């Protein structure tokens, strides 16, 4: 059975690069490695995209540390695009062609915006519709925001917290709306006169880890010395409640449609099994799901079957179970078909005497040819 693993995470950061965000940019740069390391150490394969100008440069191990070209594929991509005070949502959508290759069909999507202002141009509802339209794996995304969480026009609030009132340009209402829509993390850019980026990034990484479900891809395990017939692989979905659903196979991702089906990464030389989007959503939407179970069948080998028969005859025993696996014995039996006997046939005394006499009698040389596999008495292993 292939081993289940955690769903990968595809995380997109858009950082406000306006002049009032110098301190916050430094905090993002300082916390990015801790954030990603916690996620990766939990067993989640994380891809991180940073949309920002070169005010931010990520050191190793997440980034390359070579500024401004700190991209470190395949884990981290820096999209060199400045983000203004109000256009973080628009920049995420407009740069799609630059970061789309970092996204995976079964990756959980997370979007993080850090800004001291509100969004304009593209509002929360428009962004939500357009982001979901990018593909099936984008539908269940989570939006997280570190923004101003209260109205700076509130005179009493500003009087009570003048430091944060001066730090926040505007309440991030559109970002707060997206957090509420998607169940993400909302962190205050400033609260009680303090900016607590360490705590906020820890909260973000924890959320990504906790929201990870079963991945929708499985590496095909080594077949233990056998040649698997990949045209005869059965896949079942285990719902974790005792239910087993036989899953049909399709040729590729394009053939999935709305089918709860599976396909190979490479039909000719497969190394992985992928769940179609409909099956993936079913698995990841079930907290009790155990994933899928794959069962393969070995290819019959005429050479191996002949060897089993001949070896059985040479050692003078009908049991080959100590030499061959059960799987190979079952294959051998199919090749023998109806030609085997359940018990060895011992020759009679007269037959043995006739064979001995024939062996000791002079006889002309004869030409010998290899015959088809001899019919041998074998016993199925217990």
134 and 241 share one domain:
no
Task: Indicate which CATH number applies to the domain containing 89.
Answer: 3.40.50
Pairing of strands 272-275, 228-238: unpaired
Question: Edge-to-edge strands of the sheet including 228-238?
Answer: 244-247, 228-238, 291-298
* Statement to judge: residues 288 and 318 lie in one domain: no
User: How would residue 370 be classed by pLDDT, with cut points 50, 70 and 90?
Assistant: very low
Residue 372: inside a domain: no
User: Is residue 370 domain-resident?
Assistant: no
Look at 88-102, 185-199, 248-262, 268-282 and tell me which has the smallest mean pLDDT: 268-282
Tokens of 47: 């891809």
Over residues 298-325, mean pLDDT: 41
Range in 48-62, 97-111, 233-247, 285-299 the model is least confident about: 285-299
- Residue 98 in contact with residue 92, Cβ under 8 Å? no
- What strand order describes the sheet that includes 217-219? 217-219, 272-275, 262-264
pLDDT digits (tens, 9 = 90+) for 157-178: 899 999 999 999 999 999 999 9
User: Rounded CA gap, 118 and 23, in Å?
Assistant: 18
How does residue 204 score in pLDDT terms, banded at 50, 70 and 90? very high
pLDDT band at 354 (very low <50, low <70, confident <90, very high): low
Q: Is residue 373 part of a domain?
A: no
186 is a domain residue: yes
Q: Specify which residues 254 forms β-bridges with.
A: none
Model confidence at 371: pLDDT above 50: no
pLDDT for the residue numbered 380: 42
SS3 79: strand
- The rounded distance, in Å, linking the Cα atoms of 132 and 141 is 8
Examine the domain organization and report whether 65 and 128 are in the same domain. yes
User: Would residue 359 count as lying in a domain?
Assistant: no
Domain edge (last residue) among 159, 177, 211:
211
Domain membership of residue 133 (yes or no) is yes
The better pLDDT of the pair 267, 284 is held by 267
pLDDT reported for residue 306 = 37
* Shared domain check, 165 and 46: yes
Residue 144 near residue 176, CB atoms below 8 Å: no
What confidence category does residue 300 fall into, taking pLDDT thresholds of 50, 70 and 90? low
Split at pLDDT 50, 70, 90, the class of 124 is: very high
**pLDDT at residue number 356:** 52
Same domain, 197 and 112: yes
pTM of the model: 0.65
Mark which of 211, 241, 260 sits at the end of a domain.
211
Whether pLDDT at 217 is above 70:
yes
- Looking at the structure, do residues 291 and 307 belong to the same domain, yes or no? no
Instruction: Give the model's pLDDT for residue 47.
Output: 96
Indicate whether 189 and 256 sit together in one domain.
no
Residues 125 and 192 grouped into a single domain: yes
Q: Is residue 65 part of a domain?
A: yes
Asked whether residue 335 carries a pLDDT value surpassing 80, the answer given is: no
CA distance 295 to 60: 42
233 and 264 fall within a common domain: yes
> 62-84 pLDDT, tens per residue?
999 898 899 999 999 999 999 99
**Res 142 pLDDT > 70:** yes
- Is residue 165 situated within a structural domain? yes
Residues 178 and 205 in one domain: yes
Number of domains in the chain: 3
Note whether 292 and 238 are within 8 A (CB).
Answer: yes
Cross-strand pairs, 10: 47, 109
Last residue of a domain, one of 211, 229, 259: 211
Averaged over 314-337, what is the pLDDT?
A: 43
Show the domain range for 339. Answer: 302-352
98 and 169 assigned to the same domain:
yes
> What's the pLDDT score for residue 312?
38
User: Of 359, 366, 308, 368, nearest to 334 (Cα)?
Assistant: 308
| Segment (H or E) for 186 | strand 186-188
| Phi-psi sector, 46: left (phi>0), alpha (psi -120 to 50), beta | beta
Residue 119 and residue 60 share a domain? yes
């Amino acid at each position: 059975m292939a081993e289940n693993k955690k769903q990968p995470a595809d995380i997109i950061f858009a950082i406000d690069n306006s002049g009032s965000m110098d301190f916050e940019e430094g905090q993002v740069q300082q916390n990015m490695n801790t954030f990603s390391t916690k996620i990766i150490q939990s067993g989640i394969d994380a891809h991180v995209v940073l949309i920002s100008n070169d005010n931010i440069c990520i050191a190793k191990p997440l980034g390359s540390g070579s500024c401004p070209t700190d991209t470190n594929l395949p884990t981290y991509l820096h999209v060199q695009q400045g983000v203004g005070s109000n256009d973080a949502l628009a920049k995420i959508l407009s740069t799609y062609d630059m970061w789309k290759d970092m996204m995976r069909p079964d990756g959980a999507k997370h979007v993080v915006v850090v800004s001291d202002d509100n969004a304009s141009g593209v509002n929360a509802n428009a962004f939500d519709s357009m982001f979901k339209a990018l593909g099936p794996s984008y539908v269940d995304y989570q939006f997280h925001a570190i923004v101003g969480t209260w109205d700076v026009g509130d005179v009493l609030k500003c009087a009570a917290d003048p430091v944060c009132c001066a730090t926040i340009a505007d309440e991030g209402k559109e970002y707060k709306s997206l957090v509420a829509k998607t169940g993400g993390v909302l962190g205050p850019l400033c609260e009680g006169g303090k900016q607590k980026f360490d705590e906020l990034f820890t909260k973000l990484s924890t959320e990504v880890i906790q929201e990870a479900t079963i991945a929708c891809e499985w590496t095909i395990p080594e077949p233990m010395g056998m040649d698997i017939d990949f045209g005869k692989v059965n896949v079942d979905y285990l719902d974790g409640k005792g239910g087993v659903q036989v899953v049909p196979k399709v040729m590729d991702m394009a053939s999935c449609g709305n089918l709860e089906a599976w396909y190979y990464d490479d039909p000719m030389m497969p190394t992985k099994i992928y769940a179609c989007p409909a099956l993936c959503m079913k698995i990841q939407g079930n907290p009790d799901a155990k994933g899928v179970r794959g069962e393969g069948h070995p290819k019959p080998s005429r050479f191996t079957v002949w060897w089993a028969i001949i070896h059985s005859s040479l050692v003078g025993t009908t049991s080959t179970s100590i030499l061959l696996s059960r799987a190979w014995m079952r294959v051998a039996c199919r090749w023998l078909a109806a030609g085997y006997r359940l018990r060895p046939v011992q020759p009679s005394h007269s037959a043995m005497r006739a064979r001995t006499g024939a062996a000791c009698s002079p006889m002309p040389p004869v030409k010998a040819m290899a015959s088809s596999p001899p019919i041998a008495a074998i016993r199925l292993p217990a």
